[in-house]
Amino acid sequence: MDMTLISIVVGLGLTELLLTFHQLFRARRRVAWDGLPLAWAALLLIVVVNYWWGIRASTATASGWTAAEFMLVMISPVFLFLACAAALPRIEPGARLDMKAAYAEERTAFLLFLFGYQAGNWILDLSGLTASQPLVLVVRGIASAALVTALLTRSRRWDWTALAIIAAAFAVRLVTQLVS
């Protein structure tokens, strides 16, 4: 299976995340920094690398896929791109930026995009197009539950808790994921 389109979409997400951070850093004197969106961005950096690492192995048996099946595979990278694009706020030239206020304004979209990424992975798991290990399903379940709870509670404290839970789940996944 040619992974070019998936790699482009995921690469654009990584590029968007890094460029936005670079722009914020360059304007650092006009930015009121906040750790929460920065921590989400750091987690997304890990998620992107993990996704890229794991997608090759999970699609190794992709010969004979239909276009519809490939569209299912594209759900996760598209939502991963959107989450990367929404993780950090944009700064307008010459303007000041309060990252805490910007996060509060955009958090629902960001969390929905991140949940969309998880949902895309669940769709692949349930479709049988990829072979998922039980640990992967547990990690996905934990991350999904934390995201749904964050979306429903609308609490900054819970956003930090969800971030910590998801980071711990991904840490377990990172140390157990093997290359095929």
| Whole-angstrom distance, CA of residue 145 vs CA of residue 139 | 10
Number of domains in the chain: 1
pLDDT, tens digit (0-9, with 9 covering 90-100), for 131-178: 667 777 888 899 999 999 999 998 999 999 999 999 998 888 888 766
Neighbours of 175 (CB within 10 A): 7
Give φ, ψ of 89 to 5 degrees.
-75, 155
pLDDT, tens digit (0-9, with 9 covering 90-100), for 20-66: 999 999 999 999 999 999 999 999 999 998 888 777 766 666 667 78
Domain of residue 112: give its range.
4-176
Provide the angle, in degrees to the nearest 10, between the axes of the packed helices 156-176 and 134-153.
170
User: Are 139 and 173 within 8 A, CB to CB?
Assistant: yes
